[in-house]
């Protein structure tokens, strides 16, 4: 069960059998508006629930599921956690990227999780249609640089003149590469994209002003040689698809939970201001991009080769889970 707006992302993960969406934006339902969902959860008669979130609402849903095994990630063993979960598992937050924290929780539950890996299966028809949208043959898509200029808030973004200067210089240095810009489908980002385009001294190869759905975005990133973007969902899709990235973050407590790990990712830090993040120069963006573009054999990426566990390994993992239960 995940937020409704990202359910399509989990439809292309081959190990997931079913995805349930939960309305979160702009606000989730009131408790008394959730009875139909609770009825569905109880009707499914789940054997176990693993709660990676630990929020009050998700903990209550876990408790109301009626599952005999309810494992929940929590900060401490409070009375609420002891009631909601049959097995509250204390898992400290912070210090490492969120995906690593989740893996640590899963391991502590006795489930085999030998390494962090992302495996997705983009439908062929989606890949072909995206190649047509990009107007690039599928075997030549590694000339694409994807730029996601915006996030959900102005203060998390670079000033338009800084980003435009970086893109202009990168285009002059790498005219053979195809720059593709995209933004979310809302008026704020579409308006800002127009302002950014006005400051470019070249025409991007393609511009998608909110016209890509989530799966198409995944396909674009999987075909790209490099991703440039801020602290937003596009960056995490780049990590999932194994695409090198240059990102910009504001300095704040907890930033390490979202900064990509690995030598194929470069992160620049700025300070918050009304005009956007200050302290990041266009030359730094270009230098970081060139460093990744010039790397012929980057270090092992976070997206690891598929690892197939034998049936005996899987059964041992199930056995360990039951023993802990």
Q: Report residue 90 as tokens.
A: 């204390």
* Cα–Cα nearest to 215, from 11, 15, 21: 11
84 in Cβ contact with 63 (< 8 Å): yes
Closest CA to 77 of 86, 68, 65: 86
For tokens 């009631």, the residue is: 83
Tokens 């962090």 -> residue: 116
Instruction: Round to whole Å and give the CA distance between 47 and 123.
Output: 31
pLDDT single digits (tens) 110-168: 888 777 788 888 888 998 899 999 988 766 667 899 999 999 888 889 999 999 999 99
Compute and round to an integer the Cα radius of gyration of the chain: 22
The dihedral built from the CA positions of residue 71, 72, 73 and 77, taken in this order, carries a sign that is negative
**Cis peptide bond prior to 48, omega within 30° of 0:** no
Q: Would you state the pLDDT for residue 157?
A: 93
- Bridge partners for 73 per DSSP: 89
pLDDT in tens, 266-298: 999 999 888 788 999 999 999 999 999 998 654
User: Kind and range of the H or E element at 318?
Assistant: helix 311-324
Please list the alpha-helical segments (H only) found in 243-299: 282-293
DSSP secondary structure code for residue 308 in this structure: P
Count CB atoms within 10 A of the CB of residue 223: 23
Q: What stretches in the chain show pLDDT beneath 50?
A: 298-325
**Can you list the alpha helix ranges (DSSP code H) found in 177-281?**
187-198, 214-222, 233-241
Residues with Cβ within 8 Å of residue 65, at least 6 apart in sequence = 41, 42, 46, 49
Instruction: Provide the 8-state DSSP code for 265.
Output: E
Q: What is the pLDDT of residue 139?
A: 65
Torsion angle (degrees, nearest 10) of CA 109, 7, 126, 231: -80
From its phi and psi, is residue 297 left (phi > 0), alpha (psi between -120 and 50) or beta? beta
Tokens of 22: 């939960």
DSSP 305: P
pTM of this prediction?
0.84
The per-type count for the chain, helices as H runs and strands as E runs, is 12, 11
Strand partners, 148: 229
Cα 145–Cα 237–Cα 133 angle in degrees, nearest 5:
50
Structural domains for the chain:
34-108 (no CATH), 124-293 (3.40.50.2000)
């Amino acid at each position: 069960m995940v937020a409704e707006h990202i359910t399509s992302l989990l439809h292309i993960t081959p190990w997931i059998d079913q995805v349930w969406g939960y309305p979160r934006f702009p606000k989730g339902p009131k408790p008394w508006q959730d009875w139909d969902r609770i009825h569905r959860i109880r009707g499914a008669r789940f054997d176990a629930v693993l709660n990676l979130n630990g929020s009050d609402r998700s903990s209550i849903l876990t408790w109301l599921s009626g599952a005999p095994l309810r494992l929940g990630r929590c900060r401490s063993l409070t009375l609420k956690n002891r009631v909601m979960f049959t097995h509250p598992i204390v898992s400290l937050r912070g210090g490492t990227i969120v995906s690593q924290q989740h893996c640590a929780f899963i391991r502590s539950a006795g489930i085999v999780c030998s390494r962090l890996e992302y495996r997705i299966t983009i439908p062929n028809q989606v890949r072909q249609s995206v190649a047509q949208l990009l107007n690039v043959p599928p075997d030549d898509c590694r000339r694409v640089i994807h730029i996601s200029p915006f996030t959900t808030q102005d203060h998390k973004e670079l000033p338009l003149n800084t980003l435009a200067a970086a893109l202009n210089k990168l285009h002059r240095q790498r005219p053979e590469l195809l720059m593709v810009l995209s933004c979310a489908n809302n008026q704020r980002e579409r308006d800002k994209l127009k302002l950014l385009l006005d400051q470019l001294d070249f025409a991007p190869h393609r511009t998608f002003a909110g016209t890509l759905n989530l799966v198409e975005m995944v396909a674009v990133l999987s075909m790209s040689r490099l991703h440039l973007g801020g602290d937003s969902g596009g960056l995490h899709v780049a990590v999932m698809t194994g695409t090198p990235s240059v990102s910009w973050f504001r300095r704040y407590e907890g930033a390490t939970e979202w900064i990509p790990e690995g030598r194929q990712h470069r992160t620049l830090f700025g300070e918050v201001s009304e005009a956007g993040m200050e302290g990041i120069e266009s030359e730094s963006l270009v230098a970081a991009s060139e460093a990744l573009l010039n790397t012929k054999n980057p270090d092992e990426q976070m997206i690891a080769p598929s690892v197939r566990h034998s049936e005996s390994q899987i059964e041992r993992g199930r056995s360990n889970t039951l023993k802990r239960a």
